[in-house]
Structure 1
Amino acid sequence: MLIKKNRVWAVAALLGGVIGFSSCLKQSDPTPQRMNYTGAIINGAYLPSSLDIFNNGAKMNTSAAYKTSASSPFLDLPGVHTFSFRNLNGTGLDSVTQQFDSLRYYTIITYNDNTKKFVSQLIREDFSSLSTSKVNFRFLNLSPNAGPVDLYINSKRVLENQPFSISRPWNSVDPYNSTVEYYVTLPGSTTPLVKGTSRQTAGATQVPFQPGYAYTIYLSGAKDSTGDNKLQLYYLSHTSSY
C-alpha cells in the first residue's frame, strides 16, 4: 500500500470511542504512554493526476506516485503535523497543519475546485453516533463539473441529486447479504454514469459493505475527460484496510 503504518482494526473499538492503539512500553521505561491518532487521506483531485504526499517532511507514498484514491487508516503519534501535497517535481500544491490529538480520527480530503485549483481540507471525525448494526456511509461529490448525481447501492437509489460538496451527513442502511455494486447516475436516470471499484481486487466492482463499519463513497475526476482524469467512483473504509 502507498501509506505507511497501515493497520486493520476493529469497528467495535472505534464506535466505542477507542480510536487508536499504542506501542508497548518496556516495563523499565517510565515515560508516559502516548496514544496514537488515526488518520486517512482521500485524494479526490484529478489535477495533477499524480502527486507525492508528505507528513512533517517525510514522504508517505513509498514508491509510485499517489493517484486519485484513498489511503487505508494509518496510525501516528499525536502532535502538530503538516501534511503537504506536491507535484512530482517537488512544487507545493497545498498543505494542512493541525494539532492531531490522541484517540481521535481525522480525514484529509483533497479536491479541485471549480477553478481547477488544488485544495486540501481536514475533517475531524466523530463516529460515536453511528450504528453498530447497519452499514454507515456518506457520499461526497468531489467532481467540480459532473453536476448533481444520484447514488445507487445494489440497484437501489440511496441518495439523490447530490451536488459538489466536501462535507455531507452520515447515512445508515440495512445490512447486505453479500457483496454489492455501487454506482452513480445522472438525476432521475437508472443508467450508471460510473461504477464504483473495489479496494481489494483491481477492476472489480463487487465490494463488501459491512454492518457497523463507516464508509465514505466519493466521486472524483472531470466529466468528459479520459485517462487518469476521467470520472471515477471510490470508497474509503474508515474502520478497516479494505
Structure 2
Amino acid sequence: MRTKKYRLWAAALAVTVTGFTACLKSDDNVTPQRPQAAYVFLNASTYSAGVDIFHNSTKLTNNGPFKFGAIDDYYTYGGTQEFVFKAGGKDSTVGSILANFDSTKYYTMVIYGENPQVRAVENDFTNASNTKVNYRFYQLSPSEGAVDLFIDGKKVDSMRSYDGGALRSGFMQLDPVGTSRLTVKAAGTDSVLAENTSPLYPLQTGGVFTIYYTGLKGTTGDYKPTVNTVISYF
C-alpha cells in the first residue's frame, strides 16, 4: 500500500503501515483521478485471533490477520461500501459496516474490545488549527475504569471511561509541545497505567492525531496496557 504524509497543512513524517494488499492510488499515474475517501484502520482489540478485513467481498489482509496494535491506511471511491471483519483465519464474522462514504472525507476505522466491535468515525476537522496540535483521546481498554491523559506532564483529558459506544469525531487543540510523552493515569490519582515517550506518530504542530489507550488491566504480556497515537489526517 502506498503511504502519504500526515501533517494537516504541510508534509511531515511518512506513515508506517502493516501491509494491506489493496491500494487504489499511485504516484506514478499523472492522470487526474477521481477523489477517494481515505481511511485509517486501527486494531485496538485484544481479541487473540486478530481479524481479517474484507471490502466488498475482497480480502484486504492477505498477509495475515490484522492483529492488536496494527494500523494501516486505505482508499476507496465514494458511495456505499461494505467492510466485513472476520475472526483471523476463520469464516465467523465479528463485525461489519455498511455505509455511504464521502470521497472528500477522512475516516478512522476502529476495532476494539475483548469481543471485537467496529466503528467508522468520520473525522471532523472543523476546529483544526495549523498552529496547534490537534488531538482526541479514546479510552479503549474494556477492563479499565476512568482515566486521565497527560501530554508532557500536562493533563489534557480527564475522567474518560471506556468508549464502548460512540467515538468522538472532533478534535481538541493544544499548544505546541516540547516532546510527545504520553501518560495515562487512573482518574484523579498519580497511579500511572501506561506511558509512552516515543509514540508511533510524534505530536507535531499542525498534525491531527487520535491518541488511544488500550490493553487489559493487570497484564504484562502482549496485551499489557498501552498508550499510542495514530494519524487522523494524512
- Residue in 2 aligned with 1:108? 109
**Shift in CA distance, 212/150, structure 1 to aligned 2, threshold 3 Å:** same
Over residues 58-83 of structure 1, what are the superposed CA-to-partner deviations in whole Å (9 max), with x where a residue is unaligned? 23235243222252443322232221
- Residue in 1 aligned with 2:208? 214
Q: Secondary structure at the match of 2:126?
A: coil
Q: Secondary structure at the match of 1:67?
A: coil
Is contact 2:43-2:111 (8 Å) kept? yes
Query: Which consecutive residues of structure 1, in runs of 5 or more, have no partner in the other structure?
Result: 15-20, 27-32, 201-206
Over residues 185-240 of structure 1, what are the superposed CA-to-partner deviations in whole Å (9 max), with x where a residue is unaligned? 1122234211237465xxxxxx6211111111111122123423322222111234
Q: Secondary structure at the match of 1:150?
A: strand
Determine the C-alpha separation between the residues in 2 that align with 1:137 and 1:70.
20
- Residue in 2 aligned with 1:97? 98
- Residue in 1 aligned with 2:224? 230
- Residue in 2 aligned with 1:17? none
Q: Secondary structure at the match of 2:222?
A: helix
- Residue in 1 aligned with 2:140? 142
Determine the C-alpha separation between the residues in 2 that align with 1:78 and 1:13.
25
**Shift in CA distance, 75/198, structure 1 to aligned 2, threshold 3 Å:** farther
Q: How far did residue 172 of structure 1 move? A: 0.9
- Residue in 2 aligned with 1:25? 31
- Residue in 2 aligned with 1:204? none
- Residue in 2 aligned with 1:189? 189
Determine the C-alpha separation between the residues in 2 that align with 1:184 and 1:81.
36
Query: Which consecutive residues of structure 2, in runs of 5 or more, have no partner in the other structure?
Result: 12-24
Determine the C-alpha separation between the residues in 2 that align with 1:58 and 1:197.
38
Q: How far did residue 37 of structure 1 move? A: 1.0
Count of matched residue pairs: 215
- Residue in 2 aligned with 1:6? 3
- Percent identical across equivalent pairs? 29
Is contact 2:143-2:217 (8 Å) kept? yes
- Residue in 1 aligned with 2:48? 48
Is contact 2:38-2:75 (8 Å) kept? yes
Is contact 2:124-2:171 (8 Å) kept? no
Q: Secondary structure at the match of 1:160?
A: strand
RMSD value, Cα:
2.6
Is contact 2:7-2:207 (8 Å) kept? no
Determine the C-alpha separation between the residues in 1 that align with 2:195 and 2:66.
21
Determine the C-alpha separation between the residues in 2 that align with 1:70 and 1:172.
26
Is contact 2:7-2:206 (8 Å) kept? no
Determine the C-alpha separation between the residues in 2 that align with 1:57 and 1:41.
17
Q: Secondary structure at the match of 1:69?
A: coil
TM-score if structure 1 supplies the norm length? 0.78
TM-score if structure 2 supplies the norm length? 0.80
**Shift in CA distance, 157/187, structure 1 to aligned 2, threshold 3 Å:** same
> Residue type matched to 1:131 in 2?
S
Superposed structure 1 runs of 4+ greater than 4 Å apart:
197-200
